[in-house]
Amino acid sequence: MPVATDRVLHLARTLKGFDPHPGLSLEGYLAEIPRLDSLANLPSGTPVLVRGDVDAKPGPSLGEGDIRLRSMKETLEFGRGRGWKQIIFGHLGRKQPDKPIGSLAKVAARLGEIMGCEVPVIADWLNDATGNVQEHVREAISAAPPGSILMLENVRGYDLETVLWKAKEPALAELAPRLAAMANSIAERVATVYVNEALSAGSLDASSTIVPLAMQHVALGNYIAREFTGPMLDCLKAKLVIFSGIKIDKLDDLEAMIDRGTIRTILSAGSLAMALTKASALLEGHDFCLGVTEDPAHKDKPYYIPPERIEQAKRMIASGQKQGIEFVLPVDFKLGDQRVVETLSPGDQQFDIGPKTIAHFERKIGEFIAAHQGQPTAVFHNGVFGMFEDSRYETGTKSFVAQLKRMKDAGLSVYVGGGEGGTALEKYGQPDWVTHCFTAGGTVLNALGAEPVPYLVALRAAANGH
């Protein structure tokens, strides 16, 4: 039965925060979403739509730049073994003004190498204005033999895919009919069975949030299910959280983690630490200058910290201290001209932590290990300590990667939240220096933070007929 416009509108309002979420924990969402095994009895030849983790940049040989594609292999082999016709769709990059959207041709070729079969790409598959799937897509799927894998061209080539990102509340009622048309047309001409095997696809993309509503069956792929029910749930119990980076909205996620009451130590750097450092100073009755980071003239920059974020940081520190949480913050900073200072002036901007902070962090890691060695203890690391992509400002990040190994060698379970933290581990360390490194930084923060992962909300709604 086609999905109704009002159902699409309700989900869109929920995902955008205009209507309340169901209020479930991560475990609560996972309990209500079917797994891949629930589809085991689908007959050979059944078309199955797979939301794939195809946002990858394959290197020259297998194993380079294709970890997300390899994460899909088990699920795709499950389908091939049952003769399903699997149609993968997903995104690569973002649309840029005056630049063509990237093609999935190289991604499909690498996936074909991984799977040992050809993976043809179907181009020009959606009418963006109407939301209707083109007829030639149905013809291609019908002509494909059982066990085939096909790929729809980059879904972000169509504006409908990302219309929810910046949509204001009044616009949702106008968008819902087009989004419903897209979902229903996909159900009619592509597949009515949907598997999500795209851990990193945590944005409000229509392919991962709206399309499932029109499906007869939905399920989580094997890899994504294991990530959520294993390491992700373990991270919810983390006693040490290393939180850093330039995105100040990570404070929302950190605040939610503090409120769970399991964290004993928070070690922070980057813009997050700047907000916490100023907040700590204000709570102690004095001030701390953040340099250009708090200058309203820089409010259009990603590193800008508005006053309300300082108030939030004060609230977080006060709440954390009542729980006995220790906040470990930088004590010196490397500036853009490579001077190292302990206090910032109005025109200053920090690009890395300084040597005293590196030593301070190492001491605190040693104290944490001593206090928790021999106990089952999880550690969650997210982000980097400075502009590490520039060798002049990589010292803080590079030195701390060795601390991850130190903790794992001491018997702690060390998880890295993907994104830049994963890139730093790859650049300065080895995969076995940590217990697990996620392939999706943003999704991990969603799962551990303040808001539920959008596609879990959508899959639950689809599975329950909400």
**Minimal CA–CA distance to 58: which of 129, 122, 108?**
108
In a domain, 302, yes or no: yes
Q: Are both 194 and 270 inside the same structural domain?
A: no
* 225, 248: one domain: no
What's the pLDDT score for residue 361? 96
Q: How far is CA 208 from CA 136, 201, 215, 219, 417, in A?
A: 23, 7, 12, 12, 21
- In tens, the pLDDT along 112-158 reads 999 999 999 999 999 999 999 999 999 999 999 999 999 999 999 99
Instruction: Report how many domains make up the chain.
Output: 2
- Is 142 contained in some domain? yes
Residues 149 and 242 in one domain: no
- Residue 195, in any domain of the structure: yes
**Does pLDDT of 227 surpass 90?**
yes
User: For the purposes of burial, counting CB atoms within 10 Å of the CB of 57, is it exposed (0-12), middle (13-18) or buried (19 or more)?
Assistant: middle
Q: Is residue 224 in some structural domain?
A: yes
Residue 97 pLDDT > 80? no
- Co-location of 183 and 218 in the same domain: yes
pLDDT single digits (tens) 255-295? 888 888 899 999 999 888 999 999 999 999 999 999 999 99
- Distance CA(374)–CA(372), nearest Å, equals 6
- Residue 217 lies in domain: 5-229+452-464
- Does 212 lie in the same domain as 346? no
Pair (396, 312) in one structural domain: yes
Winning range, highest mean pLDDT, from 8-22, 239-253, 433-447: 8-22
Q: Give the pLDDT of residue 12.
A: 97
pLDDT over threshold 80, residue 246: no
Share of the chain above pLDDT 90, in %: 76
What pLDDT sits at residue 100? 83
Dump pLDDT digits (tens) for 387-398: 888 889 899 999
Closest CA relative to residue 74, chosen from 105, 52, 89, 58? 52
Among 78, 69, 72, 73, smallest CA distance to 147 is for: 78
Tens digits of residue pLDDT in 180-194: 999 999 999 999 999
What is the band of 439 on the pLDDT scale with cuts at 50, 70, 90? confident
Q: Does 224 share its domain with 272?
A: no
Examine residue 440 and state whether it is found in any structural domain, yes or no: no
Confidence bin at 318 (pLDDT 50/70/90): very high
Residues 222 and 286 in one domain: no
pLDDT at residue 334 greater than cutoff 90: yes
Does residue 446 form part of some domain? no
Please tell me whether residues 105 and 244 are part of one structural domain.
no
State the CB neighbour count (10 A cutoff) for residue 359.
Answer: 13
Question: Could you tell me if 40 and 143 lie in one domain?
Answer: yes
On whether residue 355 sits in a domain, the answer given is yes
Residue 466, pLDDT > 70, answer: no
In a domain, 447, yes or no: no
| Residue range 348-377: mean pLDDT, rounded | 94
> The CATH number of the domain where 127 resides is what?
3.40.50.1260
Block residue for tokens 């500036």 = 335
**Mean pLDDT score of the chain:** 93
pLDDT at 131: 93
Please state the rounded mean pLDDT for residues 212-233. Answer: 95
Instruction: Give yes or no: residues 71 and 196 share one domain.
Output: yes
The alpha carbon torsion through 112, 113, 114, 116 (nearest 10 deg) reads 80
Residues 458, 392 within the same domain: no
